[in-house]
């Protein structure tokens, strides 16, 4: 059965045969896509088995799709978004200006950064609204095209795709479930980069249907024999012999049959034994034979095409061959007559096997020299820097004054396009150039800056080396900024932090009053880095004295250095428990029109984000987190993205969104960086332990804690005390208050040594109260509670004050204790601390119940129960429910929609309406894991097995939602 034709290396048209199974499978996938669902399909097979031909023949008979195609090449692996540009640039070049503007509306800058060479040379803009995500811009373009017509993104030779393009395909496939897009890729089975996690993610069975394109069977070979010899009926024995000799590989079958016909063989039984005598040992042998019969100009052109790639201008090929354009065109015609060049006029080989054969005829020395010449010719001809750089990488060491600028420019363009791995590759190659010490140091700094996007350990190594040779103060300042940022996102580094601190201090000497503005900014920046180290690594620098809230020495807020100083003062004031209004005023001045993130501003954003978090300015903190996430999306800053996801989990936990916090933290844990260790791993696990304890999942919390509960660390970072508080809570929950109290004392020691006294940041005293009360030591409990209450009243942060009032009320008997608990409820009511309010209501309700005020107890306990259920705090909810029952209140059945949290109800309602998990995630702007967690919780509470039963369960529970609320008896 014939569906299409192809032209093989012998220059003949052949029918597509023996592919009915694959075509039917492609039709089935297409039907799903045409119904509005995105899909990925992989055609895998050996070289020359007909994968590309099969894909082309299929889409030619399916005109419902708009086809965008890219052919990957091993030489272009280092191109930033090379495959993406092949997909979209021809289409954008063909449409009108008006249509182009419509397609790029709202994301032009980001999209052109990936697609337009000219755009890639412009400096990065600083404003967040013009530095939006490159990936999001490409997503938007593809989505808009798919709304016009179902889209087929066909990528040949996926094993050779560049990393940024692969990242986008994985990103788009992961969130494009609602778009009619088919991503069809072909892969050479022997050359798939199986260890590449992105490639594995794109073609994993859950996302992708893989069709293995096998060699032809005997019937398929018989159809090709019939095609070549025409009316003469082929003999079965002859066809079987041809199949046995070639293994059914289409390219070899065609070469064999073509050679057999030229040798006078007929497709009859009598010629069956002649098959082995005309069998080509490899197709490469035939190609080599044809080239050996050609002129020197033809062979040189074949080599030029193999090295430079397809569709290169005749002028470039002529420059490589050292001849004229007319000679190149004449040689191209000879190549076509040999069946090695396409007949359609393009300067392209008929098949990549031809290119592989030509390259295989060159010795390693000839191959390196060929790429070196290709690089030089491409540079002189004005070809893109990344194209020149690709040849330089393939050539090995190439020297010349032009090489270093090319590699640097190519690295800058790759970094601009969100491909830091590619930039690092170019810069590493640049290190092999003849360099003096100063130039080498500057290059190491550039390499470290690029590496800091995704590999903190590599960045630290490179920048540390650069600092040994850099003499310019501004360059040393830049290097220390990158080093500090990389240390922030690296754990377990063996870098001598005291040596780093000394280097920072050397650039931080006080400047005289008449120093220039540049010197003053440098001093301010170095002071900011020292302040970061004082907080991050207190064992290295020791604490700085807390600032006083005086105004006569307050800095201005005009420059970046001045804003950093303001942010540092705000953070130090927060740690010292100075009044919240004073801290908020400083941080507001530091963050007005906050610039876009960059290494030379580090750690401004860090101090602003931390201060907003502990001030309980959660809405502002969430806006900052979203702003930074949008800004760096598509720039390859994997480590920072992971840190921002962790910050998002912390925000959710402080709001009391237990389920969301745990889901976000689990997602962050799943997205481990390429270094194999997440930044802030201890903080991540601290958040997970807190959330799991709120859900009563102590075994899961213990498994996480077991990986970190190692005492006596040589260096104590700020993460350790926070972890100790969570570990103590776990031990107390397990019924071991003495162990918990010991951990909290250790936590207090670390906090006091570091100068952190604010109960908003280190509430170890209030956490100790429960342990002392469990041990019957009321006096110690009351003393610690009163200390924390004094500090909380001083810092004037409502959450901290509410918590201190609650624990002091618990430790205080009589009317004063009740008054303190009532005040805690009043203070926490207007705050975003919903879980802390639920805990205060629990304590207040229990106190009222003890005094036999059942009506008041029911009111407080009912309100606390609603909050605890909404937060997903199942342990607290169970305790509140039990106390409400003792107070005479009625509670509804455990199941039903009334027991669902707000998040579970929102997700469940959308799922019951037929939305997919990905669609729900997009609508609610949450992660896919969050959706899955909410659905799992809803299934458990409703007592159903899964999504098919959800609509009926929620409908059945709807009439009882009001009745399931707690009521008075």
Answer left, alpha or beta for residue 396, where phi above 0 means left and psi between -120 and 50 means alpha.
left
Confidence of residue 943 (pLDDT cuts 50, 70, 90): low
pLDDT for 957 equals: 58
pLDDT of residue 210: 92
| Per-residue pLDDT at 847 exceeds 90 | yes
Percent of the chain with pLDDT over 90: 31
- pLDDT score of 518: 59
* 3-state secondary structure at position 211: strand
Interior CA angle at 792 toward 786 and 793, to 5°?
A: 90
Single out the residue of 632, 843, 739, 592 nearest to residue 132, CA to CA: 632
pTM of the model: 0.60
- DSSP annotation string for 834-877: HHHHHHHHHHHHHHHHHTT-HHHHHHHHHHHHHHHHHHT-HHHH
The helix (H) or strand (E) run that includes residue 812 is none
Q: What is the pLDDT of residue 668?
A: 77
In what helix (H) or strand (E) does residue 301 lie, and over which residues does it extend? helix 296-308
The answer, yes or no, to whether residue 10 has pLDDT greater than 80, is no
| pLDDT band at 122; cut points 50, 70, 90 | very low
Whether 570 contacts 586, CB under 8 Å: yes
The full DSSP string for 40-86 is: EEEEEE-TTSSHHHHHHHHHHT-TTSEEEEEE--GGGTTSTTHHHHH
Average pLDDT over residues 820-841: 95
- Calpha distance 523→212 (Å, rounded): 63
pLDDT at 516: 53
Higher confidence at residue 851 or residue 966? 851
- Percent of the chain at pLDDT > 70 equals 81
pLDDT tens per residue, range 605-640: 888 999 999 999 999 999 888 888 877 776 667 777
Q: Edge-to-edge, what's the strand order for the sheet holding 181-188?
A: 66-71, 151-156, 181-188, 39-45, 208-212
The mean pLDDT value for 340-369 works out to 81
Specify whether the backbone of 677 is left (phi greater than 0), alpha (psi in -120 to 50) or beta.
beta
Residues 6+ apart with CB under 8 A from 663: 926, 927, 929, 930, 932, 933, 934
By C-alpha distance, which of 684, 618, 674 is closest to 645? 684
Query: What is the C-alpha to C-alpha distance for residues 144 and 352, in angstroms, rounded to an integer?
Result: 33
Name which of 185-199, 514-528, 574-588 the model is least confident about: 514-528
211 beta partners:
43
Instruction: Report the pLDDT value the prediction gives residue 428, as an integer from 0 to 100.
Output: 92
pLDDT in tens, 269-326: 878 777 766 544 456 676 787 788 778 898 999 999 999 988 889 999 999 999 999 9
773-818 pLDDT per residue, tens: 999 999 999 999 999 999 999 999 999 999 999 999 999 988 999 9
Q: Is the peptide bond before 603 cis (omega within 30 degrees of 0)?
A: yes
Cα distance from N-terminal residue to C-terminal residue, the chain: 79
- Give the range among 120-124, 576-580, 641-645 with minimum mean pLDDT: 120-124
Lowest mean pLDDT: which of 558-572, 643-657, 784-798?
558-572
Least confident of 349-353, 764-768, 859-863: 349-353
- Rounded CA-CA distance 385/930 in Å is 43
* Distances in whole angstroms, Cα of residue 858 to Cα of each of 805, 849, 868, 893, 922: 21, 8, 15, 18, 40
Coil vs helix vs strand at 789? helix
* pLDDT exceeds 70 at position 731: yes
3-state secondary structure of 155: strand
Residue 895 pLDDT:
42
Q: Which residue has the higher pLDDT, 253 or 723?
A: 723
Residue 169 has pLDDT above 70, yes or no: yes
Cα diameter, the chain: 113
Q: Given the DSSP bridges, would you call strands 151-156 and 181-188 parallel, antiparallel or unpaired?
A: parallel
pLDDT at position 343 is: 65
Q: Contact at 8 Å (CB) between 695 and 901? A: no
840 to 617, 756, 835, 849: CA distances (angstroms): 21, 25, 9, 14
Helices (H), 452-516: 456-467, 473-488, 497-506
Q: Which token pair is 268?
A: 């009859």
Q: Residue 132: pLDDT above 60?
A: no
Which H or E run includes 685? helix 681-694
């Amino acid at each position: 059965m014939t569906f299409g034709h192809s032209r093989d290396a012998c220059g003949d048209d052949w029918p597509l045969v023996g592919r009915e199974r694959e075509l039917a499978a492609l039709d089935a996938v297409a039907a799903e896509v045409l119904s509005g669902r995105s899909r990925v399909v992989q055609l895998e097979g050996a070289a020359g088995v007909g994968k590309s031909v099969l894909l082309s023949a299929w889409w030619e008979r399916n005109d419902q799709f708009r086809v965008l195609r890219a052919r990957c090449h091993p030489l272009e692996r280092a191109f930033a978004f090379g495959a993406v540009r092949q997909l979209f640039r021809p289409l954008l070049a063909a449409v009108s200006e008006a249509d182009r503007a419509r397609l790029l509306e709202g994301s032009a800058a980001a999209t052109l950064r990936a697609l337009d060479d000219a755009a890639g040379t412009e400096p990065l803009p600083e404003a967040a609204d013009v530095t939006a995500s490159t990936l999001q811009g490409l997503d938007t373009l593809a989505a808009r095209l798919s709304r016009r017509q179902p889209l087929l993104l066909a990528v040949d030779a996926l094993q050779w795709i560049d990393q940024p393009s692969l990242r986008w395909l994985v990103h788009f496939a992961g969130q494009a479930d609602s778009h009619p897009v088919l991503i069809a890729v072909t892969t050479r089975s022997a050359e798939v980069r199986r260890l590449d996690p992105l490639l594995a993610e794109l073609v994993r069975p859950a996302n992708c249907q893989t069709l293995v394109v096998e060699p032809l069977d005997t019937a398929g070979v018989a159809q090709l024999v019939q095609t070549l010899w025409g009316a003469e009926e082929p003999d079965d024995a002859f066809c079987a012999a041809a199949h046995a000799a070639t293994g059914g590989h289409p390219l070899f079958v065609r070469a064999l049959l073509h050679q057999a016909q030229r040798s006078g063989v007929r497709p009859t039984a009598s010629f069956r034994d002649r098959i082995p005598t005309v069998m080509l040992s490899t197709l490469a042998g035939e190609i080599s034979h044809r080239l050996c019969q050609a002129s020197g100009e033809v062979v040189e052109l074949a080599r030029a095409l193999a090295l430079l790639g397809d569709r290169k201008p005749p002028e470039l090929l002529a420059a490589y061959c050292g001849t004229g354009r007319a000679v190149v065109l004449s040689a191209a015609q000879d190549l076509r007559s040999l069946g090695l060049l396409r007949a359609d006029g393009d300067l392209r080989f008929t098949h990549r096997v031809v290119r592989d054969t030509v390259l295989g005829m060159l010795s390693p020395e000839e191959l390196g020299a060929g790429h070196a010449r290709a690089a030089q010719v491409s540079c002189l001809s004005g070809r893109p820097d990344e194209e020149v750089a690709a040849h330089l990488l393939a050539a090995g060491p190439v020297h010349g004054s032009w090489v270093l600028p090319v590699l640097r420019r190519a690295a800058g363009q790759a970094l601009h396009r969100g491909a830091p791995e590619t930039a690092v590759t170019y810069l590493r190659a640049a290190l092999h150039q003849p360099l003096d010490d100063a130039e080498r140091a500057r290059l190491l700094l550039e390499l470290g800056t690029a590496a800091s996007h995704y590999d903190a350990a590599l960045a630290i190594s490179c920048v540390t080396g650069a600092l040994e040779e850099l003499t310019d103060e501004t360059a040393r300042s830049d290097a220390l900024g990158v080093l500090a940022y990389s240390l922030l996102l690296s754990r377990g580094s063996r870098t001598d932090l005291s040596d780093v601190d000394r280097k920072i201090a050397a650039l931080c000497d006080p400047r005289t009053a008449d120093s220039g503005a540049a010197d003053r900014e440098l001093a301010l920046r170095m002071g900011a880095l020292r302040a970061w180290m004082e907080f991050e690594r207190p064992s290295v620098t020791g604490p700085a004295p807390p600032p006083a809230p005086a105004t006569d020495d307050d800095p201005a807020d005009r420059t970046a250095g001045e804003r950093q100083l303001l942010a540092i003062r705000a953070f130090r004031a927060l740690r010292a428990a100075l009044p919240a209004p004073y801290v908020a005023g400083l941080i507001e001045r530091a963050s007005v029109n906050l610039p876009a993130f960059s290494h030379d501003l580090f750690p401004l954003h860090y101090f602003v984000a931390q201060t907003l978090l502990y001030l309980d300015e959660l809405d502002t903190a969430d806006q900052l987190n979203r702003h930074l996430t949008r800004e760096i999306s598509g720039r390859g800053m994997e480590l920072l993205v992971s840190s921002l996801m962790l910050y998002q989990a912390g925000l959710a936990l402080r709001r009391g969104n237990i389920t969301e916090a745990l889901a976000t933290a689990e997602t962050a844990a799943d997205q481990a960086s390429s270094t194999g260790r997440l930044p802030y791993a201890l903080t991540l696990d601290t958040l997970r332990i807190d959330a799991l304890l709120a859900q009563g999942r102590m075994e899961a919390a213990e498994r996480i804690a077991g990986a970190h509960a190692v005492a006596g660390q040589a260096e104590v970072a700020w993460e350790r005390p926070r972890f100790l508080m969570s570990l103590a809570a776990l031990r107390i929950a397990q019924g071991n208050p003495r162990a918990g109290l010991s951990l909290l004392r250790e936590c207090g020691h670390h906090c006091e040594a570091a100068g952190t006294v604010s109960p908003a940041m280190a509430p170890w005293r209030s956490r100790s109260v429960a342990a002392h009360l469990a041990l019957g030591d009321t006096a110690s409990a009351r003393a610690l509670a009163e200390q924390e209450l004094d500090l909380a009243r001083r810092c004037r942060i409502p959450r901290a004050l509410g918590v201190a009032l609650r624990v002091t009320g618990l430790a205080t008997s009589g009317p004063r204790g009740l008054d303190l608990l009532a005040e805690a409820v009043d203070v926490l009511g207007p705050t975003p601390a919903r879980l802390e309010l639920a805990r205060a209501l629990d304590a207040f309700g229990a106190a009222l119940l003890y005094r036999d005020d059942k009506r008041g107890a029911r009111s407080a306990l009912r309100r606390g129960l609603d909050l605890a259920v909404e937060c997903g705090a199942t342990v607290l909810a169970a305790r509140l429910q039990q106390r409400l029952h003792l107070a005479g209140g009625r509670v509804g059945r455990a199941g039903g929609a009334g027991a669902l949290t707000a998040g579970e109800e929102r997700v469940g309602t959308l799922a019951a309406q037929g939305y997919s998990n990905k669609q729900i995630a997009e609508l609610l702007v949450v992660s896919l894991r969050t959706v899955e967690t909410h659905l799992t919780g809803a299934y458990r509470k409703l007592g159903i097995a899964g999504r098919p039963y959800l609509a009926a369960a929620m409908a059945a529970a709807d009439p009882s939602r009001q009745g399931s609320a707690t009521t008075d008896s």
